[in-house]
C-alpha cells in the first residue's frame, strides 16, 4: 500500500511509498512547472496510515519535502 497520495488541484496524480519518492516527484514537478507553479502550491500530499480509508489520511505540509 502506498504511504503517500499526491494530488494536484484535488485530483490524484501519484501514490508513493517513501519520503524520498515524494521529494523526487516534487523536484520533477517543480522542474516541469517552472513557469506556472514553481513552489508546487497546487500540490497536496496526503499521508495514508493504517486506517486511511476511514480517516481520509493526514494532509502533510509540502514544504517538509522541498
For residues 35 and 61, give the distance between their C-alpha atoms in angstroms, rounded to a whole number: 22
Bridge partners, 46 (sequence order): 5, 59
**Considering the chain, what percentage of its residues have pLDDT values greater than 70?**
98
pTM over 0.85: yes
Asked if residue 2 has pLDDT above 80, the reply is: no
Which of 4-13, 16-25, 50-59 shows the lowest mean pLDDT across its residues? 50-59
**Considering the chain, what percentage of its residues have pLDDT values greater than 90?**
77
Question: What confidence score (pLDDT) does residue 56 get?
Answer: 83
Cβ neighbours, 10 Å, residue 6: 23
Amino acid at each position: 500500500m502506498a504511504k503517500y497520495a499526491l494530488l494536484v488541484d484535488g485530483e490524484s496524480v501519484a501514490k508513493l511509498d517513501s519520503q524520498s519518492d515524494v521529494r523526487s516527484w516534487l523536484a520533477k514537478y517543480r522542474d516541469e512547472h517552472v513557469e506556472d507553479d514553481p513552489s508546487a502550491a497546487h500540490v497536496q500530499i496526503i499521508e495514508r496510515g493504517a486506517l486511511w480509508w476511514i480517516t481520509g489520511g493526514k494532509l502533510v505540509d509540502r514544504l517538509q519535502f522541498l
